[in-house]
Amino acid sequence: MSKIKSIQARQILDSRGNPTVEVDVITENNILGRASVPSGASKGENEAFELRDNKENIFFGKGVLKAIQNVNDIIAPELIGKSVLDQICIDQLMLELDGTINKKRLGSNAILAISLATAKAAANDLNIPLYKYIGGIYTCSLPIPLINIVNGGRHSNTSSIVFQEFMIIPVKAKTFSEALHIGHKVFYQLKYLLDKKGFSTNVGDEGGFSPNFNGIEDVLDHILEAIYIANYEPYDQVAIAIDCAASEFYKNNQYDYSKFEKSEKKKKDLIKSREEHIRYLSYLIKKYPIISIEDGMDQNDWKGWKLLTHEIGDKIQLVGDDLFVTQRNKLLEGIEKKVANSILIKVNQVGTLTETIETIHIAKKNKYKNIISHRSGDTEDYFISDLSVAFNIEQIKIGSMCRSERTSKYNQLLRIENSLGKYSFYSKWN
């Protein structure tokens, strides 16, 4: 039984150049497990607490030296000598040390970095792949990628589109490798198309293009054109997913598209009631090959979620991100109220590997689809790629086909596919 010899935290930079926490867990056999923590731009209000230093003169308040200190001075001494294989015990001990509901004392970024690094150290100590260590002998299936190609909302400083993400889904790909090839073709055909029309091809936080489109339907029309140019059929071969991130533009019981959109429409036409917003989403899925909508309603608009689920929940995938924030209690509330039919899984929303796995199992038990997800401020750490394979998760959101914090995760899935060989299975849509 290999025990933890040392734990060391440091401050590194994420994909936006902001500080984040990285932790090394080293065993008595001098085996290393290293993990780093991502950060989101648009966050659910019930996410686990991300501890920042809030010293304006240092990294504009975004430093994480307090979280680093908590790892090195408070948590590490309690974990030294514990078995690196006892993930549940280690995670539970950290929760008890913190003693708060949302990890506000020690910081979820401090706790999560140790939790993930411990799992990596254990896998390395046993000399088995991380996905096999986490998931066990029945691990064999790779997820369908939801490939980001246009960034809007909080994920872009140049786009005037209210919805945050526009993604393509290679629904008929037979392998993960083929799915990436399809995504690559559509992504670069869209780049060619935008460049030809004089649009900017700069990319946003998640690697998707973020030109100044004239509204949501202009984005979708360009994506459709790119799919056709790439010689694929919408719906049959390549479908579309959108992340509304509705909590970012919901105020006073209204959905205010004008917060981000600067289209030719009058402001009054950009402010929609709950019912008008739902009707617009319903209209979009009839006009375009949209088969998944994430955060279609505000995180606290349970009435809206109920109406949306009733309206289109039997037609497409409705994903709760800010709604559920990977928390078991929020998911159970959604299941009881019969809202949404899928959940986005982000490890840093809940703060430990053990709690993440518990939420995944609850979703599976209640026939809610799981989608493993990155964050807009991410690192080169590809833990979530292994996590998706470990539990045969149906889908994964990694981002676009560029930026190293995105491609590192795609590349790990390609390695896993290659390693599994003929035993590799690829998830099918429905």
Count of beta carbons in the 10 Å neighbourhood of residue 422 = 5
d(CA 237, CA 57): 51
Count of beta carbons in the 10 Å neighbourhood of residue 238 = 27
Long-range contacts of 407-414 (CB under 8 A, 24+ apart): 408/380, 408/381, 408/382, 409/374, 409/382, 409/384, 409/385, 410/145, 410/180, 410/385, 411/382, 412/382, 412/385, 412/386, 413/142, 413/143, 413/145, 413/176, 413/385, 413/388, 413/389, 414/176, 414/177, 414/180
d(CA 13, CA 377): 10
Do the beta carbons of residue 182 and residue 232 sit within 8 Å?
yes
Is 346 an annotated catalytic residue?
A: yes
Catalytic residue among 22, 47, 206, 248: 206
How much is the CA Rg of the chain, to the nearest whole Å?
Answer: 21
Continuous H helices in 344-403: 347-350, 353-365, 383-390
Catalytic residue among 132, 185, 191, 346: 346
d(CA 173, CA 291): 16
Q: Cα angle vertex 257, ends 319, 331, to 5°?
A: 20
Count of beta carbons in the 10 Å neighbourhood of residue 146 = 26
Is 206 an annotated catalytic residue?
A: yes
Do the beta carbons of residue 272 and residue 257 sit within 8 Å?
yes
d(CA 14, CA 9): 15
Catalytic residues: 206, 346
